[in-house]
Amino acid sequence: MKVLVIGSGAREHALCRSLSLDPDITALHCAPGNAGIAEVAELHQVDALDGKAVAALAGDLGADLVVVGPEAPLVAGVADAVREAGIPVFGPSREAAQLEGSKAFAKEVMAAAGVPTARSYVCTTEAEVAEALDAFGAPYVVKDDGLAAGKGVVVTSDPDAAKAHAAACVGVAHPPSGQRGRVVVEEFLDGPEVSLFAVTDGRTVVPLQPAQDFKRALDGDEGPNTGGMGAYSPLPWADPKLVDEVLRTVLRPTVDEMRRRGTPFSGLLYAGLAITSRGVRVIEFNARFGDPETQVVLARLRTPLAGVLLAAANGTLADLEPLRWSEDAAVTVVVASHNYPGTPRTGDPITGLDEVAAEDAPHAYVLHAGTRRDGDAVVSAGGRVLSVTATGEDLSAARERAYRAVDRIRLDGSQHRTDIAARAAGA
Ligand code: AMP
Ligand code: GLY
């Protein structure tokens, strides 16, 4: 099978790594990719937001499957263009990707499907925002309606900060719709967060193993929200019945509702959940694999990946054998550039990668995010630069290996959290 992966982050490196280990793969391509992905896949240049260009590249390569990694191409309709060209694609249509592309739309679908989520108001004026903030009280949760790379949400006890964020969102026009200024104000959900992914063909839903992400930039969950600074799986503290419960109360009803609307969702449905004192609530849906959770979930998946993604693309998931999982735990630690999640400094050389490959493989390995080659050197090229991933017989062993590998890496001005999976590992 020939596969083309679209994207350039550590999530796509994780996808490419798993695909490269799949005996069914005869050729692996990625566009645009990064310096790490280049070691397992052939790279191509393409405008990832241009559906026709992606479909043409897939046609030229004779791809049997296209896997769209990030949300922006999905929301721009790239999966539709590839599907129209007659090539199987893993990823939802533009309309179905609105589950991630618009928080207001996701709320409407959840209401129709009876899916438990935070109570919320969709506001279009600052007066409505003020009223909604008063209705829920502190801590305040204010969300930009559109895509914002994990940075559109403000959770704060400061009413002025909440109002300022809402005012900024109300003023913004979102591509590609150009729609202006909706903001979702919602009740605060307490309790730990869980990311649960499910592969679906629009009818059958196959959940993966749950993971936990660390969204804040600094140790102890301090600092601003980021795309995610680390993750681990499994979750020793979670109720073993959690996955079944979420399948029954969240994933299946949502997939059924999307099909009922005539906009079936196929691809990866990501449920971001809060385990509150009053039960499980959906914080958000995403329409693609999470980053960095994918790095730990795929590290534990034993079933070859290509067949799973192809079955979702072709509508044959009902025939798939149950997924097989490793008993091992996995931890990933994100190494980010100086000043991330603000405007990151880029172009700094990264060293120590060979040492990790020589000393720590196969249990620890480096997945690349914002990197590129500059002659013989690998240099930073984005906010999140590396996802240092390790497996072990338990979280504590995986964690130790991941941090040992992180310590070998040098990137001037870089930052990483030192407490990824610490509490869950009992460290
Ligand atoms: P989202 O982009 O909706 O996932 O929000 C980003 C992060 O903000 C989440 O992972 C949570 O940590 C936090 N968050 C979002 N909504 C809520 C909520 N209703 N209550 C508490 N925290 C939230
Ligand atoms: N790790 C959060 C996300 O992928 O949205």
HEC string for the chain? CEEEEEECCHHHHHHHHHHHCCCCCCEEEEEECCCCHHHCCEECCCCCCCHHHHHHHHHHHCCCEEEECCHHHHHCCHHHHHHHCCCCEECCCCCCCHHHHCHHHHHHHHHHHCCCECCEEEECCHHHHHHHHHHHCCCEEEEECCCCCCCCEEEECCHHHHHHHHHHHHCCEECCCCEECCEEEECCCCCCEEEEEEEECCCCEEECCCEEECCEEEHHHEEEECCCCEEEECCCCCCCCHHHHHHHHHHHHHHHHHHHCCCCCCEEEEEEEEEECCEEEEEEEECCCCCCHHHHHHHHECCCHHHHHHHHHHCCHHHCCCCCECCCEEEEEEEECCCCCCCCCCCCEEECHHHHHHHCCCCEEEEECCEEEECCEEEECCCEEEEEEEEECCHHHHHHHHHHHHHHCEECCCECCCCCCHHHHCC
Residue 110 lies in a domain: no
CA distance 10 to 363: 17
Rounded mean pLDDT, 248-273: 98
CA distance 393 to 330: 9
Same-domain pairing of 278 and 173: no
Dihedral sign, CA of 385, 217, 215, 395? positive
pTM of the model as a whole: 0.94
pLDDT at res. 147: 74
Residues with C-beta less than 6 Å from any ligand 1 atom: 118, 141, 143, 150, 153, 155, 186, 188-189, 193, 215, 225, 272, 283-284
Same-domain pairing of 205 and 305: yes
Rounded mean pLDDT, 112-131: 92
Residue 178 has pLDDT above 90, yes or no: no
Residue nearest ligand 2's atom 3 by CA: 290
291 pocket-lining for ligand 2 (C-beta < 6 Å) = yes
CA distance 218 to 239: 28
For residue 176, what pLDDT band results from cuts at 50, 70 and 90? low
Same-domain pairing of 237 and 334: no
The CATH number of the domain holding residue 12 is 3.40.50.20
State the distance from the centre of ligand 1 to the C-alpha of 226, rounded, in angstroms: 11
Which residue's entry shows tokens 């499907």?
113
Residue 163 has pLDDT above 70, yes or no: yes
Residue nearest ligand 1's atom 6 by CA: 153
Same-domain pairing of 335 and 413: yes
pLDDT at res. 51: 98
pLDDT at res. 236: 97
State the distance from the centre of ligand 1 to the C-alpha of 283, rounded, in angstroms: 6
Same-domain pairing of 227 and 283: yes
293 pocket-lining for ligand 2 (C-beta < 6 Å) = yes
Task: Decide the pairing of beta strands 140-144 and 120-123.
Answer: unpaired
Atom of ligand 1 nearest to the CA of 186: 19
Residue nearest ligand 1's atom 2 by CA: 150
pLDDT at res. 225: 87
Span 136-157, pLDDT tens digits? 999 999 998 877 665 688 899 9
Same-domain pairing of 209 and 304: yes
Q: Are 75 and 97 in contact (CB under 8 A)?
A: yes
Span 350-373, pLDDT tens digits? 999 999 999 999 999 999 999 999
Span 212-248, pLDDT tens digits? 999 999 999 999 889 999 999 999 999 999 999 999 9
Number of domains present in the structure of the chain: 4
Residue 250 has pLDDT above 80, yes or no: yes
328 pocket-lining for ligand 2 (C-beta < 6 Å) = no
State the distance from the centre of ligand 2 to the C-alpha of 16, rounded, in angstroms: 18
Rounded mean pLDDT, 35-54: 98
Residue nearest ligand 1's atom 4 by CA: 284
pLDDT at res. 239: 95
Residue 21 has pLDDT above 80, yes or no: yes
Residue 257 lies in a domain: yes
Same-domain pairing of 254 and 357: no
Atom of ligand 1 nearest to the CA of 213: 10
Domain boundary among 300, 319, 338: 319
CA distance 158 to 163: 9
Domain boundary among 319, 343, 374: 319
Domain boundary among 301, 319, 337: 319
Task: Decide the pairing of beta strands 364-368 and 384-392.
Answer: antiparallel
Span 297-324, pLDDT tens digits? 999 999 999 999 999 999 999 999 999 9
Domain residues for 382?
A: 329-425
Q: Please, what is the end-to-end C-alpha distance for the chain in angstroms?
A: 43
Q: Are 216 and 229 in contact (CB under 8 A)?
A: yes
Residue 341 has pLDDT above 90, yes or no: yes
State the distance from the centre of ligand 2 to the C-alpha of 228, rounded, in angstroms: 6
Atom of ligand 1 nearest to the CA of 216: 12
State the distance from the centre of ligand 1 to the C-alpha of 256, rounded, in angstroms: 25
Same-domain pairing of 284 and 205: yes
Residue 108 lies in a domain: no
pLDDT at res. 125: 87
Pocket test for ligand 1, best of 141, 151, 153, 184 (most atoms within 8 A of CB): 153
Pocket test for ligand 1, best of 122, 226, 284, 293 (most atoms within 8 A of CB): 284
User: In one letter, which amino acid is 128?
Assistant: E
Residue 114 lies in a domain: no
State the distance from the centre of ligand 1 to the C-alpha of 146, rounded, in angstroms: 14
The CATH number of the domain holding residue 358 is 3.90.600.10
C-alpha distance from residue 31 to each of 24, 89, 426 (Å): 20, 15, 40
